[in-house]
A and B are shown apart, each in its own frame.
Chain A
């Protein structure tokens, strides 16, 4: 079976003033459907850039990304937006919820973008919020929620369109240790229950340990790929 994700020779260079910074230097790997993968590396190693490229919100200078065997960077911006909407879910370190909308409305947003009616969207979003344990808090705005709760909303939003891949950028980075673990547990549970592929970026080895595989990134290159504890568990 073809891998769900194939990253092929991805190079990304930023220009900062007059200096060019290589964030990614020919990164290649594949990920199978249903895997829980951690990308581990110190800050500045290019983890977030890699995640943005995989998610199709940043274009590589060279190389490309195949999602479901589709080269996403041959698509025009509209098609790429559709890929982001239907095949990818994003979870950010700073949650990135829309502060004016309630938790429910935040989760509904991708469904609304996908042309569902308000009623359909609400029903689906409510179910998912209950699944992530926010059944009681769904009518609150992000500012009225704790960090852990906000991240649960963000995870629900990422999962709402049943994407093939969920990309999480330091999802525990802004949470205390206990809450961070709860989020990791939640992601692992959803990965098992829903069979979606999770790729999470982290600089915390103890969290990475719980993945099926760990991709070590340093200075824009892959240093090594290792099996995580989770595979050992099973």
Chain B
């Protein structure tokens, strides 16, 4: 018998038992829907997280930290010579040292503002490293020829109180810095002139400049009595591309004695997070796959009943000359068609569900944010919008899996039908 005709007969049989076929197919539809919905949402979630991470971390900027990230006060400091060595590495385009001072309070007349850190930077080099994040200002600009008393304010420092900005470009302000400890913390006051106020960026990574202020590196060194000693707390190194960042990190590490520096490589973070999300996605999809397995058992059940009901018919067809293979193909054809139909419908409804779920999720999250979030910003809202991602691999994979399950579970009843003894089958009532 020709394949087309075998499939045609299978189709006729399915049409004849429309309600039963629909229910059986529904099992497959639900299974494939679950797989596709979870996979595409998972993929979308991974993508959203990745985008946010990439925005939060400059992927091509490595941070060299003396000791470990948690070393605290036991830290050593970097010399200019060391920074120079880092910048000599072929993949490193530019390296710059910075100093960071905590507990910063700023005064402008009777107005007061606080900052996480005051960062002392080489203005020229720092701008080169973070060019895309230091390009826009609400007022003023990044100093081209910085004075010793130039200061740049992060957006949130200046606009913490939305009605009245803390300062304007050109204002002279006083900065209170923690200089050290004896029995009590020692604070000192310094005068600066505001050269620029950064535009809001709101990136949620390690370096959220909205809460930073920048002063010249030499000034920082002078404050700490390190003038002329070329000391820096951290090195920021920009590599030619994120792909080489791990290699470059290794080379930087080799410049220092063992265990003297740690290097933050953003791409490693991102990869780690992506791996975790990938695992979660696989886990969820496997659970969905179980539902397809249940559908498979349903198919086996229904087909076994169907073979029993059609025993006589099978006997007739065998008596008039059908081969076992023909009967087998006829029944497997039904399983295959159920798998294909269920799979295709499941793919469509899977993406539909994912779309619907993402809309509901984003609405829910937006409402949550407006009340719950400590720092509402348009950026964080973006982060919670998960758009399901259409993936050809998942689509084809789910379809093949659906069809395969149907055929595997259909195999037993189909074989049972093929092996029926025609004489007994003809006597069957």
Contact = CB atoms under 8 A, between A and B. Distances in A.
Contacts of A84: 319-321
Give chain B's interface secondary structure class: helix
Interface residues of A, number: 30
B308 interface: no
A110 B317 CA distance: 8
A113 B326 CA distance: 8
B1 A81 contact: no
A96 B318 contact: no
Nearest to B9: A112
B144 interface: no
B147 interface: no
Interface in A92-110: 92, 96-98, 100, 109-110
Interface residues of B, number: 22
Nearest to B13: A100
B423 A82 contact: no
B324 interface: yes
A52 interface: yes
B320 A113 contact: yes
B9 to A, nearest CB: 8
A57 B318 contact: yes
Nearest to A158: B320
A55 B316 CA distance: 13
A36 interface: no
Contact of B323 (A55, A57, A77, A89): A77
Given A78-B325, A81-B324, A55 B319 contact: yes
B319 A90 contact: yes
Nearest to A87: B321
Contact of A85 (B2, B320, B422): B320
B264 interface: no
A117 B320 CA distance: 18
Contacts, number: 65
Given A52-B423, A77-B323, A96 B316 contact: yes
A233 interface: no
Nearest to A117: B2
Contacts of B13: 100
B322 A113 contact: yes
B54 interface: no
A88 B12 CA distance: 27
B5 interface: yes
Interface in A51-86: 52, 55, 57-58, 77-78, 81-82, 84-86
Contacts of A77: 323-324
A118 B326 CA distance: 17
16 contacts: A57-B423, A58-B422, A81-B321, A81-B324, A86-B321, A88-B321, A90-B319, A90-B320, A96-B316, A96-B319, A109-B320, A110-B321, A112-B2, A112-B5, A113-B320, A115-B2
Interface of A: 52, 55, 57-58, 77-78, 81-82, 84-86, 88-90, 92, 96-98, 100, 109-110, 112-115, 117-118, 157-158, 161
Given A85-B321, A109-B320, 4 more contacts: A81-B318, A84-B320, A96-B319, A113-B1
- Nearest 8 pairs between A and B by C-beta? A85-B321, A84-B321, A57-B422, A81-B323, A96-B316, A58-B423, A78-B323, A57-B319
